[in-house]
Amino acid sequence: GEAGSRAGAVSIAETTSGVVRANHLRRNRHLKRRLLACADHFNRSYKKGLAYMQEIKLLPEPLEANAVARFLKFTPLLDKEVVGEYLGDHKEFNISTLTAYCHIFDFSGVTLDRALRSFLDGFKLPGEAQKISRILEVFADRYYSGNPEAVADADSAYVLSYSIIMLNTDQHNPQVKRKMTLEQFVRNNRGTNGGNDWPRETLETIFAGIVNDEIKLTDDAAPTLTPSKWSDMMRSCGGGKGRMLASPTPQEAALYDADLFGIVWSPTIAAVSAVFDHTIDESVLKDALDGFLGIARIAGHHRMTDVMDHLVATLCKFAAPAHLQFGGNGGGGGSNGSGSPRPAVQFGSDDRARTAAVTVFTLANRYGDSLRAGWCNLLDLILRLHKLGLLSKKVTEGLSVDDRDGGTMRAIDGGKASTSATVQPEKIQKKVSSSSSLLRGFSQLLSLESDYYATADVPLTEADKEAEQRATRCIEACRVEEVFADSKFLEAQSLLHMVRALTWAAGPAGAAGAAGAAATENGDGGVISGASGTGSNGNSNSNSNSNGGGVGGVGAAEGGAVSAEDEDTALFCLDILVAVTLRNRDRIHLLLPQVYGYLRTIVQSAQVPTPLVERAIFEVLRIARALLPYKPELGEDLLDSLRLMFALQPAVADAFIERIARELCVLVRAAAGFIKGAKGWDTICKLLMASARHPDAAGHGFEALSLILAESSSEGDEGAARGGGGEGDSS
């Protein structure tokens, strides 16, 4: 027991020290990144660079020579020419920095030529003679202090240093035709060692070293491992510097997994993508797929969102190649090369696209918490599959709101409301001119929707039928609907990014509403917009610029009618958005601002009734009806959203007022007991007052008022009963 306790204590101590070391290394890595940014500033202007470092607290105020010297010595990617000019400057602080820079080196026991090499390795000697002399004087003083027995005095070290630089230039300058000989070099240095000659073997060693290994005096930043530099490295390691850190235990080594993976993930994805893109071998394709899944597993474990986003974007590119977007012939590498124009046949014939599709949706289902921007790529892929008719009816229904989320909304004629799968604009656009309908007809004719391929009279071969079956099985294996059905298990940040991606993916129709270009026939005030409640909540009939999230801004409202394809896309995204919202009712406070902002943008920018506007209006009602009993504390916010109806244009309000009144009646019947605030009742009553002006809506309005009075009467009776028997009976 004692031995086990001791071993446990040692293990805890080792783990603690490992965490401390890991954090220390991460801080150093972060500091190095900051220093690289500082180096860039310094290279452009050393004055501004030093000021910037003082601003971010990397250098003290006022400047200290030692701090600047260490920055010049140890920061990588500094421009050597700029460093040389700075060290050679005659200003007092620059000379102090040069002295401090030189004192960083330890020249003890090192020959003069090797010491000079090491010293000149960090900067380029300036071209001006006075600056060179000033730098060499400081170097000579430092060398002499470390090697008093090797040279007579500092002046002797200075003279020989200058002679070495001249020899280096002579030997390695191609413009010098007649090179200096050893005897000439020895003769030039007679009597320069304190009045005496240098030992001949010393000069011979220096001469041979310079001839065989040039001292680089340029600003070449490329690292080169010369024999002299290798010698310096070995000497540094011998003193305990420059050694690699070794992790003493596997537990401590595991602390660095995320850091190492952060370095290698990008080239790894690129390498696996290259293999996946060019292989035609099924086993190699499977190995590449395993590589993608392995990367995702590590990224998901460490919650590395940028890695997961990049991986999803890469796989979405493979899952939706260009030939599938436009129904063209041919397939990518690894496909069977079907010539059928049907997207399902092409998709079923492309092994690579199907494999990538299943993989990317598998990642979304498993590691959705680690997705951020990747939701946009995933939504883009889902929309492509939807436009090409590759999503089955089962998948499409799974993406819509079901009975658990408030039930099916009813359209004006009593049937189901318009959805992305059943767009029927003729039933609600009674007042849109025939020219607008003609434009929509052309848009449908020219769009690349699935109906074109479904009705094309192209006989399918057996191979094509098998390809269609493969495509169907692939889409079912993707489990697209589960990605959104399981959104209630996502972390808050991932969920918010999913909702933003849905509003982004809706495109121009989603951002601007489905505003029509045609003028409405009825120019007078609308039923709702002309009501007394137009001052509600600051809403007006003008278009809103709130952040709905679409990519098209309000351009659709200003630039003309939205195509049927764009509107179908927006309806499809709206279906999913409302389903996700209602399935996350436990944290609805996170989503309501984004969702209401999106719906507000559609409704307020609508000039004529369209299927998208219809859905947006009644999704506001659906959300209020579904959440009032579940979240009564949000009653004020939910009912306040209904004031958006006061901003409807006359044509839009007239088209929908009967159904608005009917849905308000359903809302009162289901949730009247949960409406407590005066402001909420004010909103409902004003909407019902407006409905009284419309013959078809008046009946629903009076029914709702009857329900309100009945509810009020029952509450009054209950209150009287609680207040006392006799008084309650007499009243």
Catalytic positions, written as ranges:
128
The burial of 637, by beta-carbon neighbours within 10 Å (0-12 exposed, 13-18 middle, 19 or more buried), is given as middle
State how far the Cα of 9 lies from the Cα of 260, in Å rounded to an integer. 29
The 3 state secondary structure assigned to 536-587 is HHHCCCCCCCCCCCCCCCCHHHHHCCCCHHHHHHHHHHHHHHHHHHHHCHHH
User: What is the spatial distance between Cα 646 and Cα 195, in angstroms, rounded to a whole number?
Assistant: 103
- Give the whole-angstrom CA distance, residue 437 versus residue 425: 9
Residue at 88: amino acid letter: G
Amino acid of residue 162: Y
Provide the token pair at 399.
């993406």
**Cα 197 from Cα 170, distance rounded (Å):** 22
CA distance 556 to 514: 7
From the number of C-beta atoms within 10 Å of its C-beta (0-12, 13-18, 19+), residue 487 rates as buried
498 residue type, one letter: M
State which amino acid sits at residue 126: P
Strand locations in 5-95, DSSP E? none
**Cβ 730 vs Cβ 719: under 8 Å:** no
Measured at the CA of 258, the angle between CA 257 and CA 262, to 5 degrees, comes to 120
CA distance 378 to 313: 8
Question: Cβ(512)–Cβ(601) under 8 Å?
Answer: yes
Give the other-Cβ count within 10 Å of 327's Cβ.
17
Q: Which two tokens stand for residue 329?
A: 């012939």
Identify the DSSP state of 419: B
Token digits of residue 669: 């019947």
Tell me, letter by letter, the H, E, C secondary structure of 354-368: HHHHHHHHHHHHHCH
Alpha-carbon distance of 341 to 61, in angstroms, equals 71
R_g of the chain computed on alpha carbons:
39
* DSSP label of 520: P
Find where tokens 């990008």 sit.
266
- Give the three-state DSSP class for 433: coil
Positive or negative, the CA dihedral 51, 52, 54, 59 is: negative
Q: Which residues contact 52 (CB under 8 A, 6 or more apart)?
A: 38, 41
Number of other CB atoms surrounding residue 574 within 10 Å: 28
**DSSP element (H, E) containing 180:** none
Q: Are 643 and 615 in contact (CB under 8 A)?
A: no
Count the helix, strand and coil residues of the chain and give each as a percent rounded to the nearest 5: 70, 0, 30
Phi and psi torsions of 533, nearest 5°: -95, 20
**Closest by alpha carbon to 548, among 568, 574, 519?**
574
